[in-house]
Amino acid sequence: MATKHLFKFQTEADYKTAKKNHLVLPNVSSIKESGNVYINRKFVSKEEAETGTIIAYHEHTTGEMEIKYIVPEAFDKTDPYWKADAVVVVPYNHTNDDTVRAMALNYASVDTPTTGGAASGIVWGADVNIAEINNYTAGIKFVNYDDQTSSIGTNGSVYLPSDAFSGEKVNPYDTETIYTATENYAPSPYNEDGSKNDAYHSLGAFASVTNNCLKDMDGKGNTFKILRTLNQEYLDQTLYAETLDNAQTKDYNGITLNLFPAACACAKYNSILKPCTIDTSKTLEENIAANAMPWYLPACGEVGYSIVRSARIQYAMSQVGATAYSTDWIRTSSEYSYSGAWGLNPSLGYIGGNHYGKGERGRVRPFAAF
């Protein structure tokens, strides 16, 4: 039986700080000031999984696949029993569709799209408007980081807080995070109690802020809309190709084909728990209907969760021996315009769309819903 650890803290803030510094598991933590007691286990349910929780599997000799959600502090990559498949980014109580949104252990790759690879620059795609995708031209901002109840506005570029930052600007609405920006403060997706922040999602009192790129949480839907822009007659030169052209367009037998390598690389990504089963003899719509492409190019709002909990994501990746989370630009499926798409910079918390062209190269991390 595993040894249980008992920890006592004066305040909830003390407990959060200690938890952020990776308390050993399992443990029971009691808070003197509030009287709350927290029982922290190695395994949690999907509903309890937080950002950084590792989705792992064990294949029994019978072929049965056992799936567990493992807290990263308790994951042992030297133990062959549990194998990691993905890392949770958006928790269950923030999705509204009975899923968690998880990040792949590798970056997307145009050279080896089924397995992914190390971080490399991938072009978003052709300069065309994608049918039915909203063009968000701003992110939600606040004049002061410590007052996010009024003075609501939008701006072409905004800055998220992160648990990876240090400094004096502690976000009072999510004290695990800190701002390093001097203006255009964007909200964390979390309230202090871990619930969904209405401002980030343009809900409740913030519903009038409709031009907010962070409210876009439908990366899978966006990805399918992007793929539908491909010429069906030439899928074998685009989505169905073994390797992908890292360009906006391609000349093929005198025809200019529009390409979308970022979305295609994500759609072709493959994992044990979420395999890509594209049938090249079938149409794109038949493959979509068969759920043959479970991985997708995440939306701006989904990637934002990984910025806000960047330190937690980095720790989980190191625990499983996966490709580290890059501090370079991360591409999203959220459009800014016909020639621009939103990107995020983890090292700054910066969200930009108006200057980040679809022809420029950025890192791409596939996401999937579990």
Res 274 pLDDT > 70: yes
Alpha carbon 81 to its chain centroid, in Å, reads: 27
Distance (Å, whole) CA 366 – CA 87: 11
Q: Among 14-23, 48-57, 195-204, which is the least confidently predicted range?
A: 14-23
Q: Report the range of poorest mean pLDDT among 40-44, 251-255, 291-295, 305-309.
A: 40-44
For residue 263, what pLDDT band results from cuts at 50, 70 and 90? very high
Cβ contacts of 97-101, under 8 Å, gap ≥ 24: 97/369, 99/369, 99/370, 100/46, 100/49, 100/53, 100/55, 100/369, 100/370, 101/217, 101/219, 101/298, 101/302, 101/305, 101/367, 101/368, 101/369, 101/370
Residue closest to 219 by CA, chosen among 356, 344, 75, 77 = 344
pLDDT band at 189 (very low <50, low <70, confident <90, very high): very high
Q: How far apart are CA 91 and CA 99, in angstroms?
A: 8
- Mean pLDDT of all residues in the chain? 93
Residue 153 · residue 143 · CB < 8 Å: yes
The residue among 334, 324, 369 whose CA lies nearest residue 354 is 334
74: tokens are 């308790």
3-state secondary structure (DSSP) of residue 73: helix
Average pLDDT (68-84) is 94
Please list, in sequence order, all residues whose beta carbon lies within 8 angstroms of the beta carbon of residue 57, skipping any fewer than 6 positions away: 65, 66, 67, 68, 82, 83, 85, 272, 273
Please report the pLDDT score of residue 1 as a whole number: 47
CA distance 83 to 308: 26
**In this model, does residue 302 exceed pLDDT 80?**
yes
Query: What average pLDDT score do residues 272-276 get?
Result: 98
- Mean pLDDT (whole number) for 211-217: 95
Closest to 42 measured CA to CA, from 75, 81, 5: 75
% of the chain beyond a pLDDT of 70: 98
Q: What is the pLDDT of residue 325?
A: 82
Q: Is 218 strand, coil or helix?
A: coil
pLDDT given for residue 97 in this prediction: 95
pLDDT for res 324: 83
Taking residues 38-62, report their average pLDDT. 93
The arithmetic mean of pLDDT across residues 140-160, rounded, is 88
Is residue 121 a contact partner of residue 365, using CB atoms and an 8 Å limit? Answer: no
pLDDT at 181 over 70: yes
**Phi/psi at 140 (5° precision):** -70, 140
Q: What is the b/e burial string over 182-204, where b = at least 16 CB atoms within 10 angstroms of the residue's CB?
A: eebbbbbbbebeeebbebbbbee
Burial class (CB in 10 A: 0-12, 13-18, 19+), 293: buried
Q: Whole-angstrom Cα distance, residue 223 to residue 43? A: 32
Instruction: Tell me what pLDDT residue 344 has.
Output: 93
More confident site: 154 or 52:
52
Predicted confidence (pLDDT) per residue in 92-143, tens digit = 999 999 999 999 999 999 999 999 998 899 999 999 999 889 899 899 999 9
Q: Are strands 169-170 and 27-31 parallel, antiparallel or unpaired?
A: unpaired
Averaged pLDDT, 68-76: 95
**Predicted local confidence at residue 151, as pLDDT:** 67
Whether the CB-CB separation of 296 and 370 falls below 8 Å is answered with no
DSSP-based three-state secondary structure for 331: strand
More confident residue, 134 or 298: 298
Q: What are phi and psi of 70, to 5 degrees?
A: -115, 130
Q: Worst-scoring range by mean pLDDT, 86-100, 310-324, 341-355?
A: 341-355
Q: C-alpha distances in angstroms, 240 versus 192, 235, 237, 261?
A: 45, 5, 7, 11
